């Protein structure tokens, strides 16, 4: 069993508990009364490289990263530095996140918010929308073709912008086949957790023109953002480098400057 498989087993167990506690119909009622989602694409496709800044307490590869007692305050600092959107880890076991983190971040910032999790059912998308998310992560490696197609369609129907994550050439083909407008190339192999910073540069040319490209994992500072731009990135997703730094707002601003 790969690391990704193990994570999804835990995700499904936690999901079953939430489904018993909060029926999908109740979530749907919340969605019906929620404000319209924010569209991240104008900012993501603007000149330069946009920063998608992440609220991330821990990771399977490095364990605990930061306490982050106040996710909303951290997100506000990211936004003050110019982040185009905020990513919030909501997976509990490996990343120490929760939907409550997303709710608090949504209340604190005006920029779009991504639910970053291992989404395998429609229920999680409805949860995301009810909690105030504007985007939702869909990991191609975690889904078969039918699941990817159906979840992508459901996300769009709910008004969410799917960030479709790929790791190799075959996964790019699958992402394009479902009509993904926003494709994230993850330099981290989720089956082994190894990071190859060259992955984005190798795969980005295979993402069709007109599809927004996100470089994920291994972005440690402005130099990596400049290299990402040269390789064709429109957006960089940055977590560990920001949550472990001293000044998140300044760090985001420096990355934006490097991407211009």
Task: Give me the active site residues, please.
Answer: 54, 56, 116, 165, 186, 216-217
Backbone angle region of 159, left / alpha / beta, with phi > 0 → left and psi within -120 to 50 → alpha: left
d(CA 114, CA 122): 16
Dihedrals phi, psi of 139, to nearest 5 degrees:
-95, 115
Compute CA 189 distance to the chain's CA centroid, rounded to the nearest angstrom: 16
Query: Residue 116: how many CA atoms within 13 Å on its side-chain side?
Result: 26
d(CA 11, CA 257): 37
**213 touches 233 (CB < 8 A):** yes
Beta strands 113-116 and 235-238 are unpaired
**14 touches 92 (CB < 8 A):** yes
Beta strands 182-186 and 212-216 are parallel
Dihedrals phi, psi of 158, to nearest 5 degrees:
-80, -10
Query: Partners of 183 in the beta sheet?
Result: 164, 213
d(CA 231, CA 44): 16
**160 touches 187 (CB < 8 A):** no
């Amino acid at each position: 069993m790969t690391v990704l498989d193990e994570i999804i087993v835990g995700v499904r167990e936690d999901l079953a508990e939430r489904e018993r506690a909060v029926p999908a119909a109740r979530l749907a009622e919340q969605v019906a009364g929620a404000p319209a989602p924010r569209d991240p694409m104008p900012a993501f496709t603007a000149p330069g490289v946009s920063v998608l800044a992440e609220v991330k307490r821990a990771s399977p590869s490095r364990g605990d990263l930061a306490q982050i007692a106040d996710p909303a305050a951290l997100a506000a600092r990211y936004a003050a530095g110019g982040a185009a959107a905020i990513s919030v880890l909501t997976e509990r076991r490996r990343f120490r996140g929760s939907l409550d983190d997303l709710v608090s971040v949504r209340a604190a910032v005006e920029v779009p918010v991504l639910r970053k999790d291992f989404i395998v059912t429609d229920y999680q998308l409805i949860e995301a929308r009810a909690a105030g998310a504007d985007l939702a992560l869909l990991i191609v490696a975690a889904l078969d073709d039918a699941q990817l197609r159906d979840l992508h369609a459901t996300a769009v129907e709910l008004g969410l912008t799917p960030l479709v994550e790929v790791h190799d050439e075959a996964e790019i083909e699958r992402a394009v086949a479902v009509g993904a407008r926003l494709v994230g190339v993850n330099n981290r192999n989720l089956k082994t957790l190894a990071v190859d910073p060259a992955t984005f540069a190798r795969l980005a040319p295979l993402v069709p023109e007109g599809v927004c490209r996100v470089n994920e994992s291994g972005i440690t500072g402005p130099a990596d953002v400049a290299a990402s731009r040269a390789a064709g990135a429109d957006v960089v997703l940055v977590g560990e480098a920001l949550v472990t730094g001293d000044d998140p707002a300044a760090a985001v601003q420096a990355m934006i400057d490097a991407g211009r």
